[in-house]
Amino acid sequence: MISAEHLLNNAIKTALNAVYNLQIEEISLQKTRKEFEGDFTLVTFAYTRDTRKKPEEIGEALGAYLLANTPEIVKYNVVKGFLNISLSDAFWMLFFNSVRSSAQFGLKPSDSSGKTIMLEYSSPNTNKPLHLGHIRNNLLGASVAAILQANGHKVIKANLVNDRGIHICKSMLAWQRFGNGETPQSSGLKGDHLVGKYYVAFDKAYKEEQAQLIASGMSKEDAEKSAPVMLACQELLRQWEAGNPEVVQLWRTMNGWVYDGFGVTYKELGVSFDKMYYESNTYLLGKELVQEGLAKSVFYKKENGSVAIDLSAEGLDEKIVLRSDGTSVYITQDLGTAIERFKEFPELNQLIYTVGNEQDYHFKVLFSILQKLGYSWASECYHLSYGMVELPDGKMKSREGTVVDADDLIKEMYETAFLKCRDSEKLKHLNEAEIKELSKMVGMAALKYFILKVDPKKKMLFDPNESVDFDGNTGPFIQYSYARTRSVLDKAGMALDRNVSITLHPTEKELLTTLYSFPSVIEESGHLYNPAIIANHLYDVSKLFNRFWHDCPILKEENEDVKLFRLQLVNLCGTVIANGMRLLGIEVPSRM
């Protein structure tokens, strides 16, 4: 691909040397802001000290030199300390003809960087269905994995399933007591929903027993500890850890139900994994590491026999890594699991955890301990933190008034999309069967795009109805724009394999320069682990494409070169939209 930045970097270095006798290694360019004329902008404030000139004077001197000595530069203007540079139509046509037929425009071959990254996401508990928070987690993780691959990295998509512990035993105990042998087959419920039903049943029984104990005069704190159903649950966990065959078999059976249910939801979301980890296999990892750390004086033993580390120098607190009874805590498991992963995959360069921002502190502690233990790769561990996602009141139902099941939300999205598609003037030409088929694709695009267009670090409000809109910054609008590109090309029925060179209409140039930015947008999105950068770029492309379609006749254009160029531009727009949406995990329909 022909690089405007490379051209301008060299030209500006030459200009700085010729005008001010400066040898500059790095030139910082940025895209010119929309309110000013130009393609790229050089900030001249950086050269005031060396030149002893005002920023505006530097801009004028460099601009005049560039205009006189660089044929590709046709115009410049200076606004305070900003030199705005315009490149020629001939340059943009040269770029366009070099990429216009590239179906992989913007995407680098996988493994081309030589870097291997493990990206962990999803990490569900096997005591209830996936919920709204898991949807953001899964969509974010899957999209970032695709974006990293598009940047040339090898990506191992990992899922650590929390399949053991007291919360799992709660569902097991409730099923033993209240289930009467109920199964997914006998109940007609998805396996994860059935197990979740008994998790709720346990909570109900637990609260009833607490209320009875409190009514008899016991304190709330003692009632929580003494409730018979909780004591029975703790005994069940002890039996599981001791390997009781009946308990282990029940655990396997109920977890199997959940995995089958998760599989259906993952398929609906288009999410997959290369490597599955299970907490039941990893929860003991890290205990040996504690002994290692004690020997190195990284950890210390407290008076009560527990083992801890002091992280106050890192701005953190003391952290217990082994309880006084010798049992491990969660971070001990995470330490052991991280080390095992780098042993299992020696080629691993980076480990990324996709986990909500309520765990920010946990990961600061985890990475600090790994560094203190002397693992050089600890600096390459990264917490991809994201904010909570909420729904407007009354928009969706939930099982307990607080948690929205992923399956319920997906079903709601399909139903909302069907009604929107059925009532849309833009889709009146489709019959009901076509609308039903299209609405699944539109509903999933609405869900994914609306979530991924928001910076992961921000808390967000998801409105199902607003997301399924064929106008505005939505997935369906971008899908419709792509379908329009296919419709134009189908109607034209022309071969697009001839290079042309024309004078660009202002809208054509704006669209073309926006398409030019697509590879750098993918790079930035990968560098920041932020799919929102791609999502919002696709919205810009789609808006510009629709303005171009309105401003510039395509099929009715009489000049054959102009017509051919416009069709080729339509095709490149479609390529960028399709490639970008694929990185968001979204399908684009060829007809709408």
Quick: pLDDT tens for 58-89: 999 999 999 999 999 999 999 999 999 999 99
- Structure confidence at residue 25 (pLDDT): 87
Contact 144, 119 (CB under 8 A): yes
Please write the tens of the pLDDT for every residue from 249-306.
Answer: 999 999 999 999 999 999 999 999 999 999 999 988 888 899 999 999 999 999 999 9
- Structure confidence at residue 397 (pLDDT): 42
Q: How confident is the model over 152-165, as a mean pLDDT?
A: 96
For residues 273 and 259, what is the distance between their CA atoms, to the nearest angstrom?
13
Structure tokens at 582: 């694929």
DSSP code, position 285: T
DSSP 158-221: EEEEB--SHHHHHHHHHHHHH-TT--HHHH---HHHHHHHHHHHHHHHHHHHHHHHHHTT--HH
- Using CA atoms, how far residue 495 sits from 100, 444, 492, 499, 563, in Å, is 13, 34, 9, 11, 12
- Structure confidence at residue 427 (pLDDT): 85
Architecture of domain 116-390: 3-Layer(aba) Sandwich (3.40)
Q: How confident is the model over 227-252, as a mean pLDDT?
A: 95
DSSP code, position 433: H
For residues 473 and 178, what is the distance between their CA atoms, to the nearest angstrom?
48
Q: How confident is the model over 189-195, as a mean pLDDT?
A: 96
402 — pLDDT class (breaks 50, 70, 90): low
11 — pLDDT class (breaks 50, 70, 90): very high
- Using CA atoms, how far residue 8 sits from 22, 404, 424, in Å, is 16, 52, 47
Q: Of 316-320, 423-427, 438-442, 476-480, which gets the smallest average pLDDT?
A: 423-427
| Pairing outcome for strands 460-461 and 29-31 | unpaired
Q: How confident is the model over 353-370, as a mean pLDDT?
A: 97
> For 270-297, where are the alpha helices, taking DSSP H only?
279-282, 287-295
- Domain ranges in the chain are 4-87, 116-390
Rounded (to 5) percent helix, strand, coil in the chain: 55, 10, 30
Q: Is 337 left (phi over 0), alpha (psi -120 to 50) or beta?
A: alpha
Element (H, E) at 128: none
- Structure confidence at residue 393 (pLDDT): 66
- Structure confidence at residue 9 (pLDDT): 96
Mean pLDDT of the chain: 94
Q: Which CATH superfamily is domain 4-87 in?
A: Arginyl tRNA synthetase N-terminal domain (3.30.1360.70)
Contact 163, 279 (CB under 8 A): yes
Could you tell me what percent of the chain has a pLDDT over 70? 98
Please write the tens of the pLDDT for every residue from 172-183.
Answer: 999 999 999 999
Structure tokens at 444: 């999933």
- Structure confidence at residue 591 (pLDDT): 87
Could you tell me what percent of the chain has a pLDDT over 90? 85
Please write the tens of the pLDDT for every residue from 481-494.
Answer: 999 999 999 999 98
Contact 486, 479 (CB under 8 A): no
Structure tokens at 84: 């705005």
CA dihedral angle for residue 511, residue 515, residue 516, residue 522, rounded to 10 degrees:
150
Contact 142, 274 (CB under 8 A): no
Please name every residue paired with 275 in a beta bridge, in sequence order, or none if there are none.
158
For residues 149 and 465, what is the distance between their CA atoms, to the nearest angstrom?
32
391 — pLDDT class (breaks 50, 70, 90): confident
Contact 482, 574 (CB under 8 A): yes
Q: Is 577 left (phi over 0), alpha (psi -120 to 50) or beta?
A: alpha
Measuring CA to CA, which residue among 231, 227, 201, 200 is closest to residue 214? Answer: 227
- Structure confidence at residue 423 (pLDDT): 87
